[in-house]
A = this chain, B = another copy of it.
Amino acid sequence: MSHYYRLVVSCPDRRGIVARVSGFIAGHGGSITEASQHSDLEAGRFFMRYEILTDSIGMTAGELKEAFEPVAREFDMDWALRDTRRRPRVVILASRESHCLVDLLYRWTAGELEGDIVGVISNHDDMRSMVEWHGLPYHHVPVGDDKSAAFDEVERHVEALEADSVVLARYMQILPPRICQRYAGRVINIHHSFLPSFAGARPYHQAHSRGVKLIGATCHYVTEELDAGPIIEQDIHRVSHCHTPQDLVRFGRDVEKAVLARGLRWHLEDRVLIHGNKTVVFA
């Protein structure tokens, strides 16, 4: 299996960025295997993502970063360089509805995710044996009246697990602003509606009573405002008058699993760049 340096850049758009960056990499003998770029003409901003074969460059990630620093400064870049040999660590927060959790565990086991699930935190104890069967720690943190204490405990677990990213796999609890800020751009939620329709509680029931003909799910980054963060991915499922709210819930599970899995996969592969309240997704 090959390893890569992944360079992700966002900066004010102007001429010569690609020439400068690709020239820099070619100058160090780097072999680019995947390149994506996007100019947001409205915002005047440029986004790019390069995958560079690690072996083609005779430098460590640290050395390469240092060498790139002047280029980044010249173009006023927000940027990151990641070495894929260090796999990101993912903590999953789950609740009773376990379909997304089980789906992610399977995908991780099957090698579909470029990262490692390192632990599960849940406000219920139901999924303990399934999670432990996968060799993972399971932390049961009930969320009762003292939410503040519960979320302090959640945060301690996330920290102790050295999470790079946190996934709310139908967690059904609203994270306190402190955690949202601390892990900004690294907490992914799956909302069970086609946002911005039906934000908030019981979206399938809302959808059913509005009589929509499609239901959906939305994977997005969590921000302090509920269900309003940058959208990573969405998909839908066709429904009809035949279907009860329970059918919608069942169809919804499949859409949620698929949408969350795609969103997380892209996030872990550094394909999602946040800009304001929107995302650029180099899928």
Contact = CB atoms under 8 A, between A and B. Distances in A.
Interface of A: 15-16, 18-20, 22-23, 25-27, 29-35, 37-42, 56, 98-99, 102-103, 106, 110, 112, 129-130, 133, 194-198, 210-214, 216, 230-236, 240-242, 244, 250, 253-254, 258, 277-281, 283
25 contacts: A15-B30, A15-B31, A18-B18, A18-B35, A19-B27, A20-B26, A22-B22, A23-B23, A34-B39, A35-B37, A98-B110, A99-B106, A99-B110, A103-B106, A110-B253, A112-B250, A194-B214, A195-B212, A196-B197, A210-B277, A211-B278, A214-B234, A240-B281, A241-B278, A241-B279
Contacts of A234: 212-214
B25 A19 contact: yes
Nearest to A110: B99
Contacts of A16: 26
A10 B150 CA distance: 52
A202 to B, nearest CB: 15
Contacts of A244: 41-42
Contact of A211 (B25, B194, B277, B283): B277
Q: Within the oligomer, what is the number of copies of this chain?
A: 4
Nearest to A193: B197
Contacts of A258: 254
A101 to B, nearest CB: 10
B230 A211 contact: yes
Contacts of A98: 110
Given A26-B19, A242-B38, A258-B254, A210 B236 contact: no
B29 A15 contact: yes
Nearest to A272: B241
A29 to B, nearest CB: 7
A169 B64 CA distance: 47
B196 A210 contact: yes
Contacts of A281: 213, 240-241
